[in-house]
Amino acid sequence: MTALLDRLAELYGIERTYLGIDGSRHEVSDDARRATLEAMGVPAGTEAELRRGIDEATPVHVGSMAAPEGPRCFVPDWLKDGRTWGMTCQLYALRSDRNWGIGDFEDLARLAEAAAREGADLLGVNPLHALFLSEARRCSPFSPSNRQFLNPLYIAVDRLAGAEGLEVDEAELDELRSADHVLYPLVAKAKLRALEELFERSQADASAEEAFQAFLAHHGQSLYLHALFEAISERMVAEGHWSGWHTWPEPYRDHAGETVRAFAEENADRVTFHAWLQFVADRQLADAQRRARAAGMRIGLYVDLAVGVAADGSATWSDPELTVPDARIGAPPDYFNAAGQDWGIAPLSPATLEKRRFAPYHEALDDVVCHAGAVRIDHAMSLYRLYWIPDRFSAKDGVYVRYPFPDLLRGLAEVSQERQTLVIGEDLGVVPEGFREVMAAMEIHSYRVFFFERRNDHFLPPSAYPQAAMACISIHDLPSLAGWWTGRDLATRAEIGLIEPAKLPRERDERGHDRRRVLGALSDAGLLPEALAPVMRGEAEAPEELPPELAVALHRFVARTPSRLFAIPVDDLIASPDQVNIPGTTDEHPNWRQKLPVPIERVADVPLYQAICAAVREERPRAG
């Protein structure tokens, strides 16, 4: 039976073995492969089922590890042999004197204009996808309800027509603004109350109504079903259910059923309201990109496409055939997660993608990049394969499932060219052999993080970085530079039980060793600040806080690489010590909730911000 299982699994792109991040080979259990086939709707429990499955199989055309013929991703002429830089931020984390307790699209536009004044060509953001508006505490931008639509909490209420006439509770807004974390449920309550009133007023504006109707026509059924999902979700939460449709009463789980049809007719105004929220959010995001370009950015907004959607969100409710409900996406065990990772995200069905000629992928991608000059493809290896975890299996027992690689690459390149959008592929973790070479051939920029760019025990020199890449020092799943230097991340991980108390001294010793390796890399590049030379030689203790001159030198180091793009988190420009997200945690750490300690109106006044921007401008002068 093993030979039959091997053959059937191969037809559906299920890999029997894989190489771990340490290079060791892992065997996938027969039970996990059977469960994966079952999740795909292919019975595989008995010999008869295996034989019938082979005879009746509709194989997935996964292709080879090679760049297909056809278009490559877009790279502007000025960048093909050039270099530039920009900043990145978590939009929700932006503080301002005017927002409603969460960063919004007006904050994004203003930060882009400020970054442009420093010479930056791009401003990156976290995924802006629609989450669960009726259960706002579900705030991970990488577990969206629907990737095609936007999170209405990012709407800048005060920028809408009629906002000046709103009766708002200034004390309530001051409380939301002053909180160190985004108080999502309270922010949602305040914003929705105001937006409902503005929606009622907007219907008297003939020109706005005409634009809204055009937006509805353009997005069609997908927008209608998303808005309907939001309206039903509100009702379900009010009645004591969760926001996700898996917990709803059975009649509401079928979007085409009589119960849902009756709900839609009885609540047509509420469905229209949720569609209007998408219209408003789309217009404000488009305006942020327009202002970024008008301020001098040659790329503008750099957006993020999450690898998948929540299993119980509007995307899976609206189109249940598109995803595989009995499996989740994750990652195999690695240095940081010995048990592997279960992201709780539903995988796209390779068979359905093929059957629909990849239209759902094209549509989601196009909706994400339509107001941006660059896009980051989260977990870019998903174009080739994904790590599936079948129901009743743990993350360490998952399997890799292949996808139609050539077709997805072609689709990505086509959208990139149509929208004139740069593509950056997040190629961290377990990267299949040859994958990065295909990325380079397709003009998909690699993602090179300083902390990971090492050979043996040494950080790589700037010259070792590839040209077709975005270089950076840290990312949202790692400590900020200031947090790494001080070891704040180690203390936090110990407090929440991710590091055993007995192992903490060793972790701190290793961090001290890594700090000296950073100083050594700077010394080799001729960038070591003189005051830190004794630390590198072991003659002095490292300063407890991040020395500003070290932060500047390290940004010079990465800016000096030949990589076309260099991205700097705003967190590092102001030496914020906080980590955005700690993988493997939920409530143990305030993931996706922490705000920047400095309002955007005063970020440019921070001396470190000024010094780093000046240094990077020197290293990456704008041609002409």
What is the DSSP code string of 267-290?
THHHHHHHHHHHHHHHHHHHHHHH
In this prediction, residues 98-123 reach a mean pLDDT of 98
- Closest alpha carbon to 252 in 278, 275, 234, 270: 234
Asked which of 43-47, 151-155, 544-548, 572-576 is least confident by mean pLDDT, the reply is: 43-47
- List the domain boundaries for the chain: 1-76+299-433, 130-291, 445-624
Whole-angstrom distance between the N-terminal and C-terminal Cα of the chain?
A: 67
The answer on pLDDT for 273 being more than 60 is yes
How big is the chain, counted in residues?
624
The answer to whether 439 touches 415, Cβ cutoff 8 Å, is no
**Burial state string for 429-445 with b = 16 or more CB within 10 A and e = fewer than 16:** ebbbeebbebbbebbbb
Q: For 23-82, how does the pLDDT look when each residue is reduced to its tens digit (9 = 90+)?
A: 788 899 999 999 999 999 999 888 888 889 888 888 888 888 999 999 999 999 999 999
The answer on pLDDT for 624 being more than 60 is no
User: What whole-number distance in Å separates Cα of residue 70 and Cα of residue 219?
Assistant: 28
Secondary structure, 3-state, 373-396: CEEEECCHHHHCEEEEEECCCCHH
Residue 336, pLDDT score:
66
User: What whole-number distance in Å separates Cα of residue 205 and Cα of residue 283?
Assistant: 16
> What CATH number belongs to 1-76+299-433?
3.20.20.80
For the chain, state the CA radius of gyration: 25
- Closest alpha carbon to 123 in 555, 450, 567: 567
Residue 517, pLDDT score:
94
**Burial state string for 143-170 with b = 16 or more CB within 10 A and e = fewer than 16:** bbbbbbbbbbbbbbbbbbeebeeeeeee
Angle CA 588–589–593, to nearest 5: 135
Residue 1, pLDDT score:
61
Q: For 204-224, how does the pLDDT look when each residue is reduced to its tens digit (9 = 90+)?
A: 677 788 899 999 999 999 999
Residue 404, pLDDT score:
95
User: What whole-number distance in Å separates Cα of residue 226 and Cα of residue 282?
Assistant: 15
Q: For 394-423, how does the pLDDT look when each residue is reduced to its tens digit (9 = 90+)?
A: 999 999 999 999 999 999 999 999 999 999
The answer on pLDDT for 124 being more than 70 is yes
The answer on pLDDT for 155 being more than 70 is yes
The answer to whether 444 touches 97, Cβ cutoff 8 Å, is no
Q: For 374-400, how does the pLDDT look when each residue is reduced to its tens digit (9 = 90+)?
A: 999 999 999 999 999 999 999 999 999
Residue 204, pLDDT score:
64
7 token code pair: 């053959």
Residue 24, pLDDT score:
84
Percent of the chain with pLDDT strictly greater than 90 = 85
Q: For 520-540, how does the pLDDT look when each residue is reduced to its tens digit (9 = 90+)?
A: 999 999 999 999 999 888 888
Q: For 288-346, how does the pLDDT look when each residue is reduced to its tens digit (9 = 90+)?
A: 999 999 999 999 999 999 999 999 999 999 999 999 989 999 999 876 677 788 988 99
The answer on pLDDT for 203 being more than 80 is no
Provide the mean pLDDT of the chain: 94
Residue 307, pLDDT score:
95
- At 20, the pLDDT band (50, 70, 90 cuts) reads confident
User: What whole-number distance in Å separates Cα of residue 381 and Cα of residue 358?
Assistant: 17
Residue 71, pLDDT score:
95
Q: Residue 53 in 3-state DSSP?
A: helix
The answer on pLDDT for 502 being more than 70 is yes
Asked which of 11-25, 154-168, 247-261, 350-364 is least confident by mean pLDDT, the reply is: 11-25
Secondary structure, 3-state, 405-427: HHHHHHHHHHHHHHHCCEEEECC
